[in-house]
Structure 1
Amino acid sequence: MIWLQTKKTAVVIFGALLNALSMNLFLRPANVYSSGFTGIAQLLSKILTVFTPLTVSMGYLLLLLNIPVAILGWKKVGKSFTFYSFLSVIFSSLFLELIPLKAVSHDILLNAVFGGVILAVGVGLTLKWGASTGGVDIIALVLSKLKDKPIGTYLFLMNAIIILTAGYLFGWEKALYTLVTLYTSTRVIDTIHTRHEKLTAMIITKKSDELKKAIQAKLVRGITTVPAKGAYTNETKDMMVIVITRYELFELERIIKEVDPKAFTNIVHTASVVGLFRRD
């Protein structure tokens, strides 16, 4: 367990380093904007520097914006997920201050593409290990647990505000290149992890009772158990069907490996869910 936590911490810190590198070496020098809270912090820092006598660093603003979200996540989501997510925010803010702001290339398209790819690798690795980069991801999980509301609309509106504001204040060309960054990062994250909000896990196991108790102790999700029989061995087993969010995938995989390493699990994308999603 200690080794797993150490490895997870190292992955989160490495992901934060990649996020900061993408911002300070590619996106910020080219005035191309990121998405979510990172993009908001970037835009606010630019606005304050250009239009007011104040100069507030992006790293400080990113940390400040995530404090209330972390408090919300601590109360509504869970201590482990929120801890590692805020750890990612802390190190992202720190690296943003330590890494010099320097353009690797003067080609804005190269900056938009490579900045988006590096950013996505950092985000994807963090998500794959059961944490997030804070901000929108924590809000999404809170909404999912409380009301099962899709976050696509909220995420679209937030990014639209960033793009339109940046375009209006600093030129529409930069706003259009921001779209290139958003598209590139989304595709890469799809490859590393998944951007699908909901997933269905079908677990074939001989230890359904133990797995059910372990899963329900960690995840607020209902489970359907179906009798199953191996076609080759003729062994009687159970197939457990559970719908989860992408944020819960790491935790589910960890539980399965601990309780029944021999279980066969199939993870598929879920287009929509009708009916009760959470377990009351």
Structure 2
Amino acid sequence: MVWLQIKKIVVVIIGAFLTAVGMNLFLIPANVYSSGFTGIAQLLSKVLTDYTPITLSMGLLLLLLNIPVAILGWMKVGKSFTIYSFISVVLSSLFLEIIPIKQLSHDILLNAVFGGVIIAVGVGITLKWGASTGGLDIIAMVLSRMKDKPIGPYMFLLNSLIILTAGFLYGWEKALYTMVFLYASTRVIDMIHTRHAKLTAFIITKKADELKRAIHQKLVRGITMIPGKGAFSNETRDIMMIVITRYELFDLERIIKDVDPKAFTNIIQTTGVYGFFRKD
């Protein structure tokens, strides 16, 4: 368990470093804007510098924006997820201050694409290891637990505001390249982690009772038990069906690996859930 936590922290550090590299070496020098809270911090920092006597670094703004979200996550989501996510935010803010802003290429398209890919790799591996980069990820978890609302429309609205504001203040060409960044980063994150907000896991196991207890200790999710029988072996098995959010996939994978490494698990896309889906 300690070794797992160490590996998780190392992944969070690498993810935060890659985010800062993508920002300071590609997006910021090209005036291409990121998405989510990172994009808000980037845009606010530039607006304050250009239009007011106040100067606040992007790293500091990113940290300040995430503090209330982290408090909300602590109360509504869970301590472990929120702690690792906030560590990611703090490290990203630190690396943004340490790594110098340097323009490696004068081609805006190259900056948008490479910045998007590098940042997406950092975000993707962080999500894959059961943490997040803060901001909208924590809000997504809160909405999923409280109201079972999709995060997609909120992300679209926030990113649209970033693009429109950047276009209005600094030219529509920059806004269009921001859309290129969003496309590149989204595609890479989808490849590394998963694009689906909800997933259904079918677990075929001989240790259903042990798995049930372990899952209920970690996840606030219901489980449906289905009797099964092997077509070749004729041995009876239990099939466990559980619907989870993508942020819970890492924890579920770890539980299955610890309790029954021989279990056969099928993770499939869930396009919608009707009926009771526990949210508290």
| Band of TM-score, shorter chain | over 0.9
Q: Which letter maps to 2:247?
A: Y
Quick one: distance in 1 between partners of 2:90 and 2:206?
A: 42
One-letter amino acid matched to 2:86: F
Q: Is the 8 A contact 1:23 1:115 kept in 2?
A: yes
Question: Which residue does the alignment assign to 1:117?
Answer: 117
Q: What's the CA shift for 1:19? A: 0.2
2:260 counterpart of 1:260: yes
| Amino acid aligned to 1:14 | I
Task: Tell me, yes or no, if the aligned pair for 2:123 and 2:132 is still in contact at 8 Å.
Answer: yes
Q: Does 1:105 align with 2:83?
A: no
Partner of 1:78: 78
CA separation of 1:34 and 1:116: change in aligned 2, threshold 3 A: same
3-state DSSP of counterpart to 2:29: coil
Q: In structure 2, what is the Cα distance between the partners aligned to 1:277 and 1:9? A: 31
Q: Determine the C-alpha separation between the residues in 1 that align with 2:129 and 2:148.
A: 23
For residues 267 and 239 of structure 1, the distance between their equivalents in structure 2, rounded to whole angstroms, comes to: 13
Q: Secondary structure at the match of 1:85?
A: helix
In the alignment, the residues of structure 1 paired with residue 12 and residue 195 of structure 2 have an alpha-carbon distance, to the nearest angstrom, of 18
1:162 aligned partner: 162
Distance (Å, rounded) in 1 between the aligned partners of 2:119 and 2:276: 35
Q: Please give the per-residue CA displacement for 1:203-256, whole angstroms capped at 9, x wherever unaligned.
A: 000111111111111111111110011112111110000110000000000111
Equivalent residue for 2:59?
A: 59
TM-score normalized by the length of structure 2: 0.99
- Please report how far the alpha carbon of residue 20 of structure 1 lies from its aligned counterpart in structure 2 after TM superposition: 0.2
Between 182-191 and 216-225, the greater mean CA deviation after superposition: 216-225
**Cα distance 1:162–1:207, how it changes in 2: closer, same or farther (>3 A)?**
same
Query: What is the number of residues matched between the two proteins?
Result: 280
CA RMSD of aligned residues (A): 0.8
| 8 Å CA contact 1:222, 1:279 repeated in 2 | no
Long gaps (5+) in structure 2 = none
Q: Deviations over 1:48-95 (max 9, x none)?
A: 000001110000000000001001111111111001000000000000
* Structure 2 contact 204–237 (Cα < 8 Å) conserved: yes
Query: Which amino acid counterpart does residue 156 of structure 1 have in structure 2?
Result: F
Q: CA deviation at 1:42?
A: 0.3
Could you tell me whether the CA contact under 8 Å between 1:88 and 1:134 is conserved in 2? Answer: yes
Structure 1 contact 85–132 (Cα < 8 Å) conserved: yes
> Is the Cα–Cα contact under 8 Å of residues 14 and 122 in structure 2 kept in the other structure?
yes
Offset at residue 279 of structure 1 (A): 6.6
SS at match of 1:28: helix
Distance in 2 between the 1:114 and 1:196 partners?
24
Identity over aligned residues, as a percent?
A: 77
d(CA) in 1 for partners of 2:255 and 2:202?
14
